[in-house]
Structure 1
Amino acid sequence: MSSDDQEKLLSYNGEVLIFQLSNGNLAEEGTAKASKLHVKRMTFDRSTRAFIQKSTGLFSIHGELSSFEMICCSYAADFRTGINLPCVLIRRNKKKSVFKYFLLLLHSSNEFEQRMNLTLDYEMKDDIKILDGPSILWRHIGAFFFISSQNDTIVSAPVKFSSIKWAGVIENLGTVLFGVGEPHATKRESSQKYSEEDYAIWGTEFYAYSIENKTVLNGAQFLPHAYGSVVTYIHICAIKVVNSVLRISLLALTQKNQLIWFQDGVPKNLCQLPFQHPRALQVMASGGGDLLYIVSCRSGDVCAIGKKSFQVAFKWQKVQSVLVDDFLGIGTEQLLLVFKDTFSTNCLTSFKITDLGNVNYSNDAFDPMENDLSERELQENYFLTVQALERRLQIGLASIRELQKHLLLKERILSKSCKALIGFVQGKEYIPPYKEEDVLVSLCDDKKYFPHSLDEKLSDTSHDSKHIVEKMWYRVLDDHLVVGVQIKYSFMLFLNDVTLSLIMDQACSYNPPLIQCKNSVIKLDTVSLPTSLTSPCETESSAKRIKLILHNKERKNNCQEQSSETNCIQIFTAVTALSPLLAFHNFCCIVILHARWGKNSGQFGESCTVPCGRFSLSMEDICSGKYSVTLPEKDKPFKEPVEDLFALLAVFHKFHFQITSPDCTLTSVKTWLLKHMECETIKEFPDSFLCKSHGALHGTLFNWKQKTPFEGILTIYCRDQTALYQCLHHLIHILPVNYVIKQLKLGSKEFLTNLLAQFLEKEIVTLKNSFSSAISELEGNLAQRCETVKKNSSSILPKSPLSGRKEAIQQIRDELQQEKEQITWGMNLLLSNAIYREITLKVATLQLESDLAAQKLNHL
């Protein structure tokens, strides 16, 4: 590489991009002088433990190399497609006071596209940043300037910033600048009022400015003003707008060599750094599940701070470049440390790749593991072994917790039973409160526990309803009666196969008629904003490795395993036709809940019947609209109870569509819902949208979950298929050109894949456990048989010493024959017919479930 070459590194999708500015070939370019911008895509090869060149790209620039300079390289989202692309900002000095800047985008085909071109009469020097759009931000003589590729117009911020600490996009605020400026009080009052020490602390103030809204925000929501003179770098972990107030979690580097975590402008934690002059911070999601903060210093020193401990865990020196990405392609992020003066024309020659745990690759000559040929195999074996041990430890801890719960339940049962027995002996009647009756069971067929009438049964078991049922409600929608029941959170984890029954309550009838109804389960996620920023980097992406989640665990523990910002509301509904019931003019209905206890309840498999209550409905109530679902008008917000929303979801037809776009992101879907379809976001459920436009689509519900920027699931709840066709007709006009839309009839592909993996795992575990128990039983029978033969043979032997040589030889022959028979028995162990039939039946049942899941997955 020539000494005149300029070089910068950038990580992108697990690859290392090397940008180089060099002299062009004069023979190819003619007599005009030319320079070239080269790009090399380097990928890591684990077999050779080195970076290899994957592909290259080239962009020719007219002019001498000495007049060009790469200002910075980064990646930004292209507003045309929404895809993040690498970009390079290059400056050309034409004359002494004329500077030309142009921004290049690098596409996947290694072709450069010139997106922006501007000429200034001064040089960009301070706070140059590339933002999404792409757009360029810079500072000059206290003023900040902004230009976007969408309008090519330079915009100046009216706030005078002495430095900018952060720039980015905030929802509902647009592009926001956060920096340090002179406080208003200092401008108005004389500076002699403050001492030099006070002015150093209070002579600056934080400001935030929204470019699109042209409004100045209070910077104290980000950081206290006293930190204005010491903070050098800011990394925003999470930011939300809650009731017009910014909720911010951020990390800040200071001139005092500190890393401080701030929550809503209040310092929460501090780490003293081992090096001086920190300048940048990156976040890495390690394979162990912890977040690591990578701090780079101007001197080339680098250190890593753990999120949980908030202490320095690792540090390195003489580092030229620090990159964070999945360079190994294993689903988790790694850290790439490129050391100083170690470049060659072909690839990186001295580096270290590590996840600060099990993964460590280095080609440093001083690394003792470099020449070990079996290091890679040992490393992979070690990684897999640690994973298996961690899994066994987790299973063991879970088993211990279940055993502890079981022992506590036994202690409670014994304690209450003893109290009841003591009271019985003393002639006292022990009446436990309703919270204790769930662990006490009557041992005699007392008639009072079997009431003859439904009223007596409801009165005797009313405590169960209070204990299990959170809420019961009912609504009228068109010709449908919708009854909903919400179970308390503590019981959602223990009940399976929950259904509702509606029974006509007629006093003259001994066997009240059962109303035919349709049962369904509706589950929605609601975001709790006040607690969403309790720790730094909560919104950072976790490990990217794909994990198979068991369907049962996902259904039962969905609310428990979600993050702190997501809560689950689950409603069980029963829908029936209203017209036949109105024939009674005034009717009363009893709601019964049926379920089975799950594995964690201690009563696995037992049925559970809980009366939820009764309600009455008359024709006067229908005419007055007392319990009717009313949809809001176009200009009025949706302020109806949550029950109205669940009633709509229970009655309307549901359709799932998977939308994918290989070339452009699907950001237009949410815009289509809010603007074109005139939908309103339901406050309690941010993923749900209610259509308020007039006509047949009024009241249509949408649920949009974007799994990746290029894929999402759109669920449409509508009255009939005509409304569905209208929605799809409007949708296809706003989707990108190369879109693919597919209806999911049997469920999402990810759900069915996880379900198939669950059944296969059950099948393997059942086979393993069944054969292990069978082998253990056969080995026990064999040992018992051998022990019996040994005792019989020892009893036949004479108690006196051997009298002759022949008798001694015969005894040895008998013992040898017994050993041969035992070996033959051990090699010919046979299962009994009963055990074999039991194993075959278990495996066949699980194989049927896995075959059905595979068939559904194949039909997608």
Structure 2
Amino acid sequence: MSSNEQEKLLSYSGEVLIFQLSQGDLAKEGTAKTSKLHVRRMTFNRSTRTFIQKSTGIFSMHGKHSSFEIICCSCAADFRTGINLPCVLIRRNKKKSVFKYFLLLLHSSNEFEQRMNFTLDYEMKDDIKILNGPSILWRHSRTCFYISSQNDIIISAPVKFSSIKWAGEVENLGTILFGVGEPLSTERESSPGSSKSDYAVWGTEFCAYSIENQKILSGAYFLPHAYGSVVTCIHICATKEVNTELRISLIALTQKNQLIWFQDGVPKSLCQLPFQDPCALQIMASSGGDLLYIVSFRSSDVCAIWKKSFQVASKWQKVKSVLVDDFIGTGTEQLLLVFKDTFSINCLTSFKITDLGNVNYSNDAFDPMENDLFEDNLQENYSLTVQALERRLQIGLASIQELQKHLLLKERILSKSCKALVGLVQGKEYIPPYEEEDILVSLCGDKKHLPHSLNEKLSDTSHDSKHIIEKMWYRVLDDHLVVGVEIKNSFVLLLNDVTLSLLMDQAYTSNPPLIQCKNSVIKLDKVSFPASLSSPCETESAAKRIKLILHNKERKNNFNEQSSEANCIQVFTAVTTLSPLLAFHNFCCIVMLHARWGENSGRFGESCTVPCGRLSLSIEDISSEKYSVTLPEKNQPLKEPMEDLFALLAVFHKFCFQITSPDCTLTSVKTWLLGHMECETVKEFPDSFFCKSLGALHGTFFNWKQKTPFEGILTVYCRNQTALFQCLHNLTQVLPMNCVIKQLKSGSKKFLTNQLALFLEKEIVTLKNFFSSAVSEVESNLTQKCEIIKKSSSSSMLKASSLGAEEATQRIREELQQEKEQIMWGMNLTLSSATYREMTLKVMGVQLKSDLAAQKLNDY
């Protein structure tokens, strides 16, 4: 790099952006000069082990080259679209004490856009950061200033900071500034969670300030105040709000050359760093599933530390720049180390790409190309071999666990059978409890008997009820009686076509009348929050591997099955009108569950009827609102368990909408739900929102699933269409102008298309398999007949040789007739009735699913 150029490096979507500020050509008129900001997009080529230039861009600025300077560059989200874009902050020194700053955004077309500009009478020097918006934060004379591209107004924080340790966004709190402040006595006495020992360290008390809420937070939530004089940099790993108090997990660098992990303000782990004066910290997700902390030092040294062991993994010296991104396109992150090279102008002449595992690339000029290609192939083969061995090891461990379970089950069966046999010899009847009945099998067969009453039927099927039904509940909402049944997780994937029926429980009749009701299935995705943040960076370790999972169908299917079973709650409901039932003073009914066994159950196609229990209601219960659904007010939380919520969803009208935005991200939908609609996130279901605003919209339920940053599915449960129109009217006020809202009748069109394609594929495979088996059966029968004819013909030929001419001719005529019949058999092949019946039933079952999917797609 020449002396008249400035250069900065930035990683963006796997590319390396090189920003250079250089002197332009002389203008044609006068002696005015121009300066140019160049950008080069560089991508890594694995075959040549070099960075190649993909594209370039230029931004011209009027003024002398010496008056411009690149302050910093970073990636930040644009509030207009929600997309992360590279940002460059430029400073121009116009006069002795007048400094002009302007922020440039780089788009995918390599065009620069000037988002903001402002003038200061002093020079920015301390704690300069580019945040989302984009917005700029800096500190001058113990005062923090903030300017956003949304309003272009410089805001000063009321808290005096001697240094800023971290600035970023926290959920429900907005942009937070955290640093060492100048505490006042009133602040110390009023701030919660602080002890007297913290205040003993005067001048080093931590403080946090929320810019959007204009609220001062206690720094004790982040770090103990005693660390204020030694901490140089921190990284927030995870935040959580419990009972209006923040719980924070973070890692911090100190002047004592240490990396410390803090959990809720308490130090948990410590690592001694190998170099002096740490200044910057980055996080990298390795291919092995662990996280790495990348620490940079002012002495141009770098080291990497494992998250799990909190030990130094590797270290490097004479490093010019450190970048973290997916440079080789494998779906995981790698570390790019750009080393100092005084003999080359190009900054990417000496570098190293590594993930401290299977990926290791460097531009060593002394190795021939053949060795590079050989090492690449060897490295790739090594990676694939290790993955295959890990997969086999996992399968082997799973098999061992299954065998252990099987052996334990055998031991239990033998133990219980021995007890039953000893009891039989002693003349005692051994009655096992319900949890033991599943492992005991009758050796002599079941006694068949016909029950004569409903009570006998219920007692006969109580075994299935204990194993299949998780719980049953019922609620009253307006003029509706809602009955809900939850099935155990192990049976969710085994049962199909589940419905509920309500039977009047009357003692004077053996055929109780059926109550008319409406059945529905309610599915909500849930998530299990940990009791405490047990390890740092829990929210960051699960990203980065989407590409690999999408290309692995087996892992994808397993993941979908596990997620649908573990992260989804499914409730079957029946809704009926309550007022006709109250004609009986004490109303009582029996709840029955009807279903068919699925393909994985071993009893495919068989019907299943399970009693769920009895429910009784009286007019006194209705008057006392014993089972009534109560909607929480604005300051009241949702009651647990969630039966009231599911009853609400069963009665309300359901509408599903697909929202698509081609240019902007749909971050405004969640903001609209939490802000304008005054909704509260349901704790058990993070994608669900309950409206607590007063009026007709009170109780409206929303479910927002964002499939991509530009597309999502919004499901609305409301009382009537008037409330729906109000919600849509309010939603259109905050969505982008070119946003498209489309109502879905029975799911997404893409989902229905994929479902139809799967059913048609299954239909073709079923037909192919049965045709193959049928042809094999017919060919086998034909071959047997031909063998019999061949044996008889050979024997007749031997006899014909010893007979006369006329008899031999007659024998030949008979053989020709047999061959003619054989040809007719080959032309008229037939199947057995059992094979044809089995094939017809299977094909009709698959075709029925295809027809239903086609009908849904046609009605879309």
Map Cα deviations across residues 658-709 of structure 1 (whole Å, 9 max, x no partner).
2222322212212333444454444543432234556665543211122343
Number of matched residues? Answer: 789
Conserved? CA contact 2:27–2:34, under 8 Å: no
- How far the C-alpha of 1:497 sits from its partner, in A, is 5.9
**Structure-2 separation of matches of 1:754 and 1:271:** 51
Partner in structure 2 of residue 664 of structure 1: 664
**Structure-1 separation of matches of 2:852 and 2:175:** 47
- How far the C-alpha of 1:842 sits from its partner, in A, is 12
Are residue 558 (structure 1) and residue 541 (structure 2) matched? no
Partner in structure 2 of residue 544 of structure 1: 546
Conserved? CA contact 1:520–1:572, under 8 Å: yes
Partner in structure 2 of residue 228 of structure 1: 228
Equivalent runs, 1:326-337 vs 2, <5 Å: 326-337=326-337
SS state of the match for residue 435, structure 1?
helix
Map Cα deviations across residues 44-63 of structure 1 (whole Å, 9 max, x no partner).
23344332222222222222
Conserved? CA contact 1:752–1:853, under 8 Å: no
- How far the C-alpha of 1:460 sits from its partner, in A, is 6.7
**Structure-2 separation of matches of 1:239 and 1:456:** 56
**Structure-2 separation of matches of 1:845 and 1:539:** 48
**Structure-2 separation of matches of 1:699 and 1:214:** 31
Partner in structure 1 of residue 591 of structure 2: 591
**Structure-2 separation of matches of 1:362 and 1:639:** 59
Change (3 A) 1:147 1:482: same
- How far the C-alpha of 1:655 sits from its partner, in A, is 2.9
**Structure-2 separation of matches of 1:838 and 1:274:** 76
Partner in structure 2 of residue 803 of structure 1: none
Partner in structure 2 of residue 5 of structure 1: 5
Conserved? CA contact 2:334–2:354, under 8 Å: yes
Equivalent runs, 1:35-434 vs 2, <5 Å: 35-181=35-181, 204-341=204-341, 348-366=348-366, 371-434=371-434
Conserved? CA contact 2:165–2:179, under 8 Å: yes
- Indicate the larger mover: 453-462 or 118-127: 453-462
Change (3 A) 1:698 1:219: closer
Conserved? CA contact 1:286–1:333, under 8 Å: yes
**Structure-2 separation of matches of 1:215 and 1:836:** 77
Gaps of 5+ in 1: 189-197, 563-567, 774-832
Equivalent runs, 1:666-815 vs 2, <5 Å: 666-692=666-692, 697-721=697-721, 723-748=723-748
- How far the C-alpha of 1:73 sits from its partner, in A, is 0.5
**Structure-2 separation of matches of 1:460 and 1:474:** 24
SS state of the match for residue 373, structure 2?
coil
Conserved? CA contact 2:283–2:294, under 8 Å: yes
Conserved? CA contact 1:300–1:318, under 8 Å: yes
Map Cα deviations across residues 489-541 of structure 1 (whole Å, 9 max, x no partner).
67667766654332221111223334454443323244555626222111114
**Structure-2 separation of matches of 1:737 and 1:438:** 60
Letter in 2 for 1:649: L
SS state of the match for residue 508, structure 1?
coil
**Structure-1 separation of matches of 2:301 and 2:48:** 28
Change (3 A) 1:427 1:847: closer
**Structure-1 separation of matches of 2:619 and 2:405:** 51
**Structure-1 separation of matches of 2:67 and 2:231:** 34
SS state of the match for residue 358, structure 1?
coil
**Structure-1 separation of matches of 2:86 and 2:620:** 67
Map Cα deviations across residues 141-172 of structure 1 (whole Å, 9 max, x no partner).
33322222333333333333222110112233
TM (norm. structure 1) is: 0.80
Change (3 A) 1:141 1:678: closer
- How far the C-alpha of 1:846 sits from its partner, in A, is 11
Change (3 A) 1:621 1:423: closer
**Structure-1 separation of matches of 2:748 and 2:608:** 31
- Indicate the larger mover: 108-117 or 689-698: 689-698
**Structure-2 separation of matches of 1:184 and 1:676:** 36
SS state of the match for residue 520, structure 1?
strand
- How far the C-alpha of 1:641 sits from its partner, in A, is 6.2
**Structure-1 separation of matches of 2:562 and 2:260:** 35
SS state of the match for residue 438, structure 2?
helix
- How far the C-alpha of 1:28 sits from its partner, in A, is 5.5
Change (3 A) 1:207 1:604: farther
- How far the C-alpha of 1:11 sits from its partner, in A, is 1.0
Change (3 A) 1:450 1:690: same
**Structure-1 separation of matches of 2:606 and 2:727:** 45
Map Cα deviations across residues 214-239 of structure 1 (whole Å, 9 max, x no partner).
33222121112222222221111111
- How far the C-alpha of 1:447 sits from its partner, in A, is 5.9
Partner in structure 2 of residue 785 of structure 1: none
Map Cα deviations across residues 525-566 of structure 1 (whole Å, 9 max, x no partner).
44555626222111114223244578985676337766xxxx
Letter in 2 for 1:659: I
Letter in 2 for 1:229: S
- Indicate the larger mover: 95-104 or 599-608: 599-608
Conserved? CA contact 1:67–1:94, under 8 Å: yes
SS state of the match for residue 427, structure 2?
coil
- How far the C-alpha of 1:408 sits from its partner, in A, is 2.2
- How far the C-alpha of 1:336 sits from its partner, in A, is 1.9
**Structure-2 separation of matches of 1:199 and 1:629:** 50
Conserved? CA contact 1:352–1:364, under 8 Å: no
- How far the C-alpha of 1:263 sits from its partner, in A, is 1.0
Conserved? CA contact 2:17–2:42, under 8 Å: yes
- Indicate the larger mover: 358-367 or 630-639: 630-639
- How far the C-alpha of 1:714 sits from its partner, in A, is 0.8
Change (3 A) 1:52 1:840: farther
Change (3 A) 1:118 1:751: same
Conserved? CA contact 1:495–1:597, under 8 Å: yes
Conserved? CA contact 1:342–1:350, under 8 Å: no
- How far the C-alpha of 1:643 sits from its partner, in A, is 1.5
Conserved? CA contact 1:585–1:618, under 8 Å: yes
Letter in 2 for 1:428: K
Conserved? CA contact 2:341–2:349, under 8 Å: no
- Indicate the larger mover: 17-26 or 483-492: 483-492
Change (3 A) 1:748 1:368: farther
Letter in 1 for 2:111: E
Are residue 507 (structure 1) and residue 507 (structure 2) matched? yes
Identity of aligned residues (%): 79
- Indicate the larger mover: 8-17 or 101-110: 101-110
**Structure-2 separation of matches of 1:229 and 1:621:** 65
Change (3 A) 1:225 1:560: farther
Letter in 1 for 2:408: L
- Indicate the larger mover: 361-370 or 156-165: 361-370
Change (3 A) 1:304 1:599: farther
**Structure-2 separation of matches of 1:425 and 1:477:** 58
Conserved? CA contact 2:143–2:157, under 8 Å: yes
- Indicate the larger mover: 735-744 or 596-605: 596-605
- How far the C-alpha of 1:412 sits from its partner, in A, is 1.5
Change (3 A) 1:650 1:614: same
Conserved? CA contact 1:232–1:255, under 8 Å: yes
- How far the C-alpha of 1:76 sits from its partner, in A, is 1.6
TM (norm. structure 2) is: 0.80
Partner in structure 1 of residue 810 of structure 2: none
Conserved? CA contact 1:551–1:755, under 8 Å: no
SS state of the match for residue 152, structure 2?
coil
**Structure-2 separation of matches of 1:623 and 1:88:** 68
